[in-house]
Amino acid sequence: MKLELYHTAHSTCSQKVRLTLAEKGLPERGKDWIEHEVNLGKFEHLTPEYLKLNPNGVVPTLVHNGNILIESSAIMEYLDEAFPDPPLLPSDIVSRARARAWMRYIDEVPTVAVRVPSFSNLLAPMRYAQTSDDDFASHTERLPLRKQFYQRMTQKGFGKKEIDYAKFQIQQTCERIENSLSDNQGPWIMGEQFTLVDAQVTPLIDRMEDLGYASLWDALPEMSAWWQRIKERPSYKATFYEVAPISVRYQSHFKSADELEKERGY
């Protein structure tokens, strides 16, 4: 077995895969899997060498016994099949279909939503504030994926309307987690079993908490209890190490949501 992960410590999609590896009993970087840290700030994900591995120019990329795999959700499902113990999808077909419906929703709604405050509150002002319009447009054209995402924002990020809608989408996600926990009467989103659904959404909730948006689920007791259980799992500790939180990775540039909203007059 040879597992290689091209990833970035603070990337939520990379964190989804690292969390899955840890749940499969493969938590240690350099021992259980070979680590290739991709520096997004230096645009290493857009180099010809990396684009040969991942033509989308994003992280993560997994190489297992020479087989190249891309897209975090697909990698998570691959790992669940390649390392079947413990299983991270339900055994019956109906519950598996429901889990995959959850995963599709997480890909399409909160995963996309979390990028808005991540870029608006930190990444865009830090990386592009001093960039001219022409240079920013040129950079956007280099991207194999997410051109429209960059074209929707300025070098300073997004405005209040986009931030508010992202917060709405995250709150909707939290309310759905709350309802699922109540309906299934189990500790995890699908019931008694910790699944890929829990693993997939964890980095997104962690990012929103790190950015200062934990109030979005303050009024949701089941969701809040679920989040506390998540943070007590060994896989969480293995995934969110040292510079994995974006507030730590970019500490000198970081401002909380409250600080930024006051500063911007939101």
Q: Residue 166: is its pLDDT beyond 90?
A: yes
Question: Would 244 be classed as within a structural domain?
Answer: no
By the 8 A CB rule, do 118 and 158 touch? no
* Residue 248 to residue 198: CA distance in whole angstroms: 24
Which DSSP letter does residue 4 get? E
Size of the chain in residues: 266
Pairing, β 67-70 against β 3-7: unpaired
Look at residue 82 in the predicted model and tell me its pLDDT: 97
At 209 the three-state DSSP class reads helix
**Identity at 144, one-letter amino acid code:** P
Question: Would 201 be classed as within a structural domain?
Answer: yes
By the 8 A CB rule, do 64 and 3 touch? yes
**Identity at 262, one-letter amino acid code:** K
At 70 the three-state DSSP class reads strand
Question: Would 65 be classed as within a structural domain?
Answer: no
Question: What is the total count of domains within the chain?
Answer: 1
Look at residue 156 in the predicted model and tell me its pLDDT: 78
Q: Residue 260: is its pLDDT beyond 90?
A: no
By the 8 A CB rule, do 155 and 136 touch? yes
Look at residue 91 in the predicted model and tell me its pLDDT: 95
Look at residue 137 in the predicted model and tell me its pLDDT: 82
Question: Would 68 be classed as within a structural domain?
Answer: no
Which DSSP letter does residue 46 get? G
Range of the domain at 100: 93-239
Q: Residue 256: is its pLDDT beyond 90?
A: no
Q: Residue 153: is its pLDDT beyond 80?
A: no
**What CATH code is carried by the domain that includes residue 135?**
1.20.1050.10
Rounded to a whole number of angstroms, the distance between the first and last alpha carbons of the chain is 52
- Tens of pLDDT, residue by residue over 73-103, are 999 999 999 999 999 999 999 999 999 999 9
- Tens of pLDDT, residue by residue over 193-206, are 999 999 999 999 99
Look at residue 266 in the predicted model and tell me its pLDDT: 75
Average pLDDT over residues 22-34: 95
Question: Would 50 be classed as within a structural domain?
Answer: no
By the 8 A CB rule, do 170 and 110 touch? yes
User: Strands of 34-37's sheet, edge to edge?
Assistant: 34-37, 3-7, 61-64, 67-70
Question: Would 67 be classed as within a structural domain?
Answer: no
Which residues of 71-202 form beta strands (DSSP E)?
none
Look at residue 144 in the predicted model and tell me its pLDDT: 83
Question: Would 118 be classed as within a structural domain?
Answer: yes
Question: Would 234 be classed as within a structural domain?
Answer: yes
Average pLDDT over residues 249-254: 88
- The overall average pLDDT reported for the chain is 93
Of 153, 102, 144, residue with least CA distance to 123: 153
Which DSSP letter does residue 66 get? T
Pairing, β 67-70 against β 34-37: unpaired
Look at residue 141 in the predicted model and tell me its pLDDT: 84
Q: Which residue has the higher pLDDT, 124 or 120?
A: 120
